[in-house]
A = this chain, B = another copy of it.
């Protein structure tokens, strides 16, 4: 499978989140060309402020591998990770991070604190942005428009 098709799976997870009334953000984690974890945002459903798609997928992948380090794993997420999730991605030792739409208001990779460029960040993934950007941004836009 290609990077684009893994991002399609993350977009599907975002749509599932949206159908559950959550902010439509989705994430998959891939090891050796196979998806080992997949999650959408679940902060409302789980009543858990940490239940962002990336955190849930990282916890799922770590449980599946039986290790707190996700060596050689790549993470695909539809929106630029926030500060909390950028920290978790670094701790989990994610190899490559692919994200869709940029998030100037809450992102922490190209926006905000740009965590991976800071000296307090001790593991930096390779970052690939703007993959599936249009669909990801469209999902979020229509979600927030519908709520107004």
A binding-site residues for B, Cβ under 8 Å: 43-44, 46-51, 55, 58-59, 62-63, 66-70, 82-88, 90-93, 105-108, 111-113, 115, 118-122
* Cross-chain contact of A84 among B51, B87, B112 (Cβ < 8 A): B87
Are A91 and B50 in contact, with the CB atoms below 8 A?
yes
Q: CB within 8 A of A120: which of B50, B92, B113?
A: B113
A106 contact set on B, CB distance < 8 A = 120, 122
Main secondary structure on chain A at its contact with chain B?
loop
Alpha-carbon separation in the docked complex, A120 to B122 (Å): 22
Q: Which residues of B contact A86 (CB under 8 A)?
A: 83-84
Chain B residues within an 8 Å CB radius of A51:
68
23 A-B residue pairs with CB within 8 Å: A43-B91, A44-B68, A47-B62, A47-B63, A47-B67, A48-B59, A48-B62, A49-B91, A50-B58, A50-B59, A50-B92, A51-B68, A83-B90, A83-B120, A84-B84, A84-B86, A85-B87, A106-B120, A107-B120, A108-B113, A112-B120, A113-B115, A113-B118
Please indicate the chain B residues that have their CB under 8 angstroms from the CB of A49 in the complex. 58, 62, 68-70, 88, 91-93
Complex Cα distance A11/B58, Å? 28
